[in-house]
Structure 1
Amino acid sequence: AGIEMATVYLLSTENLQRDADELAALIEIITEVVEEICAPVNQWSVRTVGDLELIGELPARRLRDAVRSTGDAARTASFHVNLAVGYGGRQEIVDAVRALLSKELANGATGDQLIEAVTAEAISENLYTSGQPDPDLVIRTSGEQRLSGFLLWQSAYSEMWFTEAYWPEFRQVDFLRALRAYSARHRRYGL
């Protein structure tokens, strides 16, 4: 069936602590990349994960408008893209647990029932990527060998591939190398 879904980590919550000028330039590049990804020619289903409010009103509006423009493609698309902007894996887990507990409290749950309600499945159902498969492969650019908060819950059993290339310079040949390395692996899912 090929690749049906990709999540691209464009801007972490930690990146928001960068120098204001550097951050403004980075947000402009990200906005342009998102608009390109959302172009009608791609016919991809696109959504954001994270907190767009953290990047400012105008860039957030541009990203929402770009994603909204893919609405018709979302129903028939064979490729789905998550764009992680203003995203932090720890915050996603906190938000998922809060959403879960809020739902349970709204249904009148007692303290003991709240404790019982917190399960791996229930947390998964409240993540930003709820209803989507966990990633099979995580490609980490920039030579770093860490997740940097990327899909912490979902990538528990993902295969990892690291490259020295930074994401703006990440080429098709790099992607093909990652796929070749992945295809040679035997997935054990923690067993």
Structure 2
Amino acid sequence: MLHRPAQPAGAGGVPPRHVAVIMDGNRRWAEQRGLPTAMGHRAGAEAVRRTIEAAISHGVPWLTLFAFSSENWSRPKEEVQELTGLLRHYLRAEVAQLDREGVRLRVIGERQRFGTDTLADIEAAEARTRGNVRLNLTVALSYGARSEIVAAARAAMRSGIAPEALDEASFARHLYTAGQPDPDLIIRTSGEQRLSNFLLWQAAYAELAFPPVLWPDFGPDHFAACLADFAARERRFGARAG
């Protein structure tokens, strides 16, 4: 659904309800240091841990991380294998810590493209953390916003809803993110200033931040700076300024 307040308002120092992050820069981080690409992805996994901790410490209840796009399947086979292997390791090694910290994990995207072992790890992690409420962590894997919208349109048609009865709310119920609030703030690291097919429907009223830091170097201070910038903005949601 599109989440809008009744009255236009600034953030007023209140932390965003939902922060989404496009984690960009792992390969460049490794290249700058003369390291294999795999080392950049491993360093990026450490930044994931820091960001989860930062979201919890700032009282942000929803965090979405863009970890693997549908376009990433076209990368070199060795890099894809490293990414999927790192994913499986993270799911197995970190799920206990996520559970202890009260983090609920959800995965969105075309998960059927992963192997059966990875699918089993995803489902086990989601099941183990399902009752947690401290932080709702969504990880986008094999995700592309355009394909999500097409899949939602197909699902809406299969549901039998009449075309004249289809509105934003009923359509959004068929998205991967059904039941979740839209992001208030989207952060993209590395200084690149584009959404790259990420949460295109859900980002309709999101504030955007583009810190010029590669993802493996992203830390609590960068997260806090993005929240401070968000708090200083006036969010009008299409309404005129007062």
- TM category (shorter chain) comes to 0.7 to 0.9
Residues 84-131 of structure 1 show CA distances to partners (whole Å, capped at 9, x for unaligned) of: 111110111111111111111xxxx6xxx3x21332222112111111
Using structure 1 for the length normalisation, give the TM-score: 0.85
CA contact (8 A) 1:38 1:44 kept: no
The residue aligned with 1:131 is 179
Out of 76, 81, 91, the position equivalent to 2:137 is 81
CA distance in 1: counterparts of 2:70 and 2:164, whole angstroms? 31
CA distance in 2: counterparts of 1:15 and 1:52, whole angstroms? 13
SS of the aligned residue for 1:45 comes to strand
Q: Which has the higher contact order (CA 8 A, sep 6+)?
A: 2
Alignment of 1:5-24 (within 5 A): 5-24=62-81
SS of the aligned residue for 2:82 comes to helix
Alignment of 1:32-47 (within 5 A): 32-35=89-92, 36=94, 39=97, 40-47=99-106
Alignment of 1:102-181 (within 5 A): 102-104=158-160, 113=162, 115-181=163-229
CA contact (8 A) 1:135 1:158 kept: yes
**Displaced runs of 4+ in structure 1, greater than 6 A?**
none
> Mind listing any 5+ residue stretches in structure 1 that lack a counterpart?
none
Equivalent residue letter for 1:139:
I
Quote how far apart the aligned CAs of 1:22 are: 0.7
CA distance in 2: counterparts of 1:89 and 1:188, whole angstroms? 25
Report how many aligned residue pairs link the two structures. 180
CA contact (8 A) 2:91 2:121 kept: no
> Mind listing any 5+ residue stretches in structure 2 that lack a counterpart?
1-14, 16-58
The residue aligned with 2:60 is 3
CA distance in 1: counterparts of 2:109 and 2:197, whole angstroms? 12
Out of 78, 93, 100, the position equivalent to 2:156 is 100
Q: Does 2:78 align with 1:30?
A: no
RMSD after superposition: 1.9
Using structure 2 for the length normalisation, give the TM-score: 0.69
SS of the aligned residue for 1:190 comes to coil
> What is the aligned-residue identity percentage?
36
Residues 134-171 of structure 1 show CA distances to partners (whole Å, capped at 9, x for unaligned) of: 11000112322111111110011100001233333321
CA shift in 2, pair 1:152/1:37, >3 Å: farther
CA contact (8 A) 1:8 1:83 kept: yes
